[in-house]
Chains A and B, each alone.
Chain A
Amino acid sequence: MNSEKIKLVWLELNGCSGNIISLLNGSEPSFQYMITEMVDLVYDQALIPCEGERAMDVLFQVMDQEFILAVEGAVATKNNGRYQIIGSWQGTEITGLDAVRMLGEKAVHVIAVGACSSHGGVSAGSPNPSQCVSVDSLLNRRVINLPGCPCHPDWFLSTLEYLLNYGEPELDAEGRPVFLYGITIHQRCERRSYFDQGVFATELGEATCMFRLGCKGPITPIDCPIRKWNDRVSWPVQANTPCIGCAQFGFPDRMEPFITFRNMEPEQVRQPNPAELQRGGALNE
């Protein structure tokens, strides 16, 4: 029954809704499994049948109970948050900024789902017109960051499983679960043998290493090569395109150009140092 499961609030802020869409694409574990067996989903603006003040009532009534808060989208801070308003409650406009502060302090766990909530992401792309920031920059507490654009449903649901049954997973200095974000794409890439032999693609569509086309696999710690996407049918490298570092801090600004025909030299490749792994970093400095 609903009362036996911990409550989950999915709070959507300044972003693209891509992370809830990605979660609905989950397959073993699926979204249906999550809502029937794992948690009592209380609020998500994209799914909740009720609207207006009643929806806001549902959102804020949860504050008296135990709940996990998942946030997608960045927090717009321009004009005191008035660049993104999630609704109106008891006659007052509620900004995303208000909601993160109110709910974020009371939640048992806070999970930042996707690039924007983890570190600002595309919503905070230069010159950051709506002055977007990450969730953890506004809260004086631990936030679990799951960067990725979008977040893979498995990353979120396995983190949730960890929290429900095994406590808090080991996190790196940036709040990312080590069991997901510990090894770079480059270390496990299916095209690694081409890299080692110096066989490089010069245009998209070729089956060899795309480092010279700008691949960010060497500086992006995440498990895409073995996890794959959308029921595991493929992933960007398998589709003949470079990794663009969407699961690394600093995406998108520090990951550009995503694709280049300027032909980088292989000796420019090196393993990133730990600081780069934490906050992204240019590949060819």
Chain B
Amino acid sequence: MSERIVVNPVTRISGFMEIEAIVEQHKVVDAKVKGLMFRGFELMLKGRDPLDAIYYTERICGICSTAHGLASTIALEQALGVIPTEQGRYLRDFMHGAEFLQNHLRHFYQFVVPDYVKLPGQVCTVFESPFSDMRIPKEKNDLIAQHYFDSLNVSREAHEMIAVLGGKAPHTHGIFVGGATTQATADKIVQLKNMLTDVARFIEEVTIPDVGIIAQYYPEYYHNGQSYGNLLSYGCFDNYPSLGTLYLDPMIAVDGEIRALDKSRITEEIDYSWYTDQLDAYSPMETIPVDDRNKPDAYSFIKSVKSENLPFECGPLARQWLSGAYRHGISTMDRIVARIYEAKKITEILRTLIDNMDLYAASQSEYEIPVSSSGAGLIDTTRGALGHWLKIENQLLSFYQVITPSVWNLSSRANDGRPGTGERALIGAEIQDEENPVELARIIRSFDPCVSCATHVYYPDKAPKFITIVP
């Protein structure tokens, strides 16, 4: 006998998602991760001025807007034949790194911590938590709960680093073709160094101990949430002409073997998502499927993406593993821990970038839009591998494809029926109490989902009866 459990909404993620799991004898035997929101940026971008794509695509995500601006800029540079200056790259990569810090801190404290730490419900109603599996002793619990609020000042400061160079965050302005629009000045440098020092100290002295406490009291989370084990990165903070690679180059791991990424072997599939097209599998530059909410057998707005015909996991754990910095395991807790270790690594990279900035180095000029061209911008961002592919015809965008990290991690089923990476991570998980299946969303949250989806939990004490018995 199996039970069907549905969680909707999965809260504390960006966007809206549903998890559906089939559970037999306290074990997940099948799972679906459903993205239930759609805006259609790829359709909107067609016909727009190519340079406007930078700010327009930032609006895909208020959390990782800088990442989209950067991917779009890299794609445009390829299309326009512009090589960014190394100094310009330092400035925009500094902004991108500051976004990593802001994102990782917000994800850990605001999204992950409430799964394991009881927040003070007397502050306001939103923090009244119903979870029963709260194991951390009161003194330590309350310390981390205090850090939940303290961290907001630190993540705010990380966003301020973006604004110093880019005018504002989210939806920053400073990243542009050629590099960045601002130049390093002594007043900005000392301001940024001060901010970076504050953030780095908090990560080392507060966040790393906090994640250690959570890991200590929830040891089985080192054993659930295992994915296929294939890891992928487009590379980031890499290939500087004079500094070389500060983090990692584009690479993958398949069956334990690490090798270079072949960017030409990325494909998307749509049999199980709400889109239709003449092709049901295609490479990024081939086609943009059209949304179809009523398509039979489909269950998600998230497509399925593969490389070399294989599913992959991307994100901080993949990068930490591929770069050799962290190889403890592939699990829920490893993802959470690796994200925090990566935050520390990013503070070191940013320190290197700022130490190499030249005062007043400018990177801008007047740009001419070609009549016809194309470009791809593939870069690893906060949550993993982000790709923008574009074509220009008659000096306007004629095609725009975006594949986000969350499509890699939260793919719907592939056309051959194989579950997506996040779905695979749910399968095999032990569910202690089917009426309060906290494990499901804890596992999925470890990927830091950025989707617009929706989900529901069925509770047996409410009418109508919520647990569906599948014969």
Contacts and interface: CB of A to CB of B under 8 A. Distances in A.
A52 B38 contact: no
Given A45-B9, A241-B167, A18 B65 contact: yes
Given A24-B152, A259-B52, 14 more contacts: A16-B60, A18-B171, A46-B111, A50-B129, A51-B10, A51-B441, A54-B457, A88-B454, A127-B43, A127-B44, A129-B291, A130-B39, A230-B168, A233-B191
A235 B174 CA distance: 10
Contacts of B16: 45, 84-87
B56 interface: yes
A49 B131 contact: yes
Nearest to A261: B366
Nearest to A85: B454
Contact of B7 (A16, A52, A230): A52
B108 to A, nearest CB: 14
6 residue pairs, one from A and one from B, having the closest CB atoms = A18-B62, A52-B457, A129-B40, A88-B456, A239-B167, A230-B163
Interface stretch (B117-125, B203-211, B220-228, B351-359): B117-125
A36 B127 CA distance: 12
B51 A16 contact: no
B301 to A, nearest CB: 8
Contact of A36 (B11, B56, B123): B123
Contacts of A15: 62
A232 to B, nearest CB: 9
A25 B452 contact: no
Contact of A25 (B122, B159, B453): B159
Given A2-B125, A130-B40, A17 B6 contact: no
Contacts of A271: none
Interface in B1-37: 6-16, 18, 36-37
Contact of A258 (B52, B65, B114): B52
A87 B125 contact: no
A1 B365 contact: no
A204 B293 contact: no
A130 B36 CA distance: 12
A234 interface: yes
B189 interface: no
B62 A21 contact: yes
B165 interface: yes
B455 interface: yes
16 contacts: A14-B452, A18-B65, A25-B159, A36-B124, A40-B125, A43-B126, A49-B12, A51-B441, A87-B454, A205-B363, A229-B163, A233-B160, A233-B164, A236-B173, A237-B167, A241-B173
A82 B61 contact: no
Interface of B: 6-16, 18, 36-40, 43-44, 48-49, 51-52, 55-56, 59-63, 65, 106, 110-111, 114-115, 119, 122-131, 149, 152-153, 155-157, 159-160, 162-171, 173-174, 176, 181-183, 191, 291, 293-294, 362-368, 441, 452-459, 462-464, 466
A97 interface: no
A202 interface: yes
A21 B170 contact: yes
A46 B40 CA distance: 22
Given A127-B43, A230-B169, A46 B11 contact: yes
B88 to A, nearest CB: 10
B56 A125 contact: yes
A42 B171 CA distance: 27
Interface of A: 1-2, 5, 7, 14-22, 24-27, 30-32, 35-36, 39-56, 58, 76, 78-79, 82-91, 93, 121-123, 125-130, 132, 149-150, 202-205, 229-231, 233-241, 244, 246, 252, 256-261
Given A84-B36, A84-B452, A56 B167 contact: no
Contacts of A121: 59
A83 B12 CA distance: 20
A130 B49 contact: no
A258 B124 CA distance: 41
Most buried by A among B160, B168, B463: B168
A53 B10 CA distance: 10
Contact of A49 (B49, B129, B171, B191): B129
A84 to B, nearest CB: 5
Nearest to B166: A239
Nearest to A152: B168
Contacts of B55: 244, 258
B51 A257 contact: yes
A241 B174 contact: yes
Contacts of A76: 37-39
* B11, B129, B453 — most chain A CB neighbours (10 Å): B11
Nearest to A153: B156
Contact of A202 (B8, B18, B366): B366
A46 B14 contact: yes
A24 B181 contact: no
B455 A238 contact: no
A83 B38 contact: yes
A240 B462 CA distance: 57
Given A17-B61, A203-B366, A51 B11 contact: yes
Contacts of A235: 167-168
Nearest to A243: B173
Contact of B167 (A24, A25, A234, A261): A234
A14 B37 contact: yes
